[in-house]
Structure 1
């Protein structure tokens, strides 16, 4: 089995060392292996799990829900329905956020178009250009 040091894990995942320690402390990372020296050693499975956590975090899932998802995963396959429900709820929130961002983007694009059509031509005429 291949092991990665905390710094290698941080480099591969994009998480800081502080975040890795924090995730372990709050239960998002479970049973990180330790070398005989006591130093943490991460596996490919840990890196895969950190990829999942990164996706959930980057899409705005609250830490409490990430913790619940981690607990459900550790509890076993009988929690699949609850995991799916949690992810579907999060997906609905993400969809709402995307829709809101699209509306705000539409406003910005309209404002840009207004400036291009009305404000900028007047400014270039008045400046003698």
Structure 2
């Protein structure tokens, strides 16, 4: 299936400018063009873009992503190196998940505190109301 730049931008929630930039930087190996010179993205291009977006979301630099893409298109002899890059990305994501899990735990503790406080205050108000 083929997609326009607008469709890909909407599908991946990135700007058309970003798509053009990724292409200029060589992060999408071979975007085809139609007879009018407009970009035509394939399912394979979308696959590349999903990986690129994932890597960017974890803070990987454009040059490091470019290195990964170059390894992917060069040969099968680079499987170990590509796997190492993916393993590093996995570790980064796991660290981020842990960080946010810890933050969530703190927020939940504060919510529990406020819930208990509110419950005690409501109970006090009920007791006062009954005494009247």
TM-score range, shorter chain: 0.7 to 0.9
Q: Deviations over 1:82-107 (max 9, x none)?
A: 01001111111111111121111111
Residue 69 of structure 1 corresponds to which residue in structure 2?
Answer: 68
What's the TM-score, normalizing by structure 2? 0.79
Residue 90 of structure 2 corresponds to which residue in structure 1?
Answer: 91
What's the TM-score, normalizing by structure 1? 0.81
Find the structure with the greater CA-based Rg: 2
Gaps of 5+ in 1: none
Determine helix, strand or coil for the equivalent of 2:37. Answer: coil
Distance in 1 of aligned mates of 2:106 and 2:65: 33
Determine helix, strand or coil for the equivalent of 1:24. Answer: helix
Q: Deviations over 1:9-59 (max 9, x none)?
A: 22333332111101111111122112232222212211222222233334x
Aligned length: 126
1:30 maps onto 2:64 in alignment: no
- Residues 94-109 of structure 1: pairs in structure 2 closer than 5 A: 94-109=93-108
Distance in 1 of aligned mates of 2:91 and 2:7: 35
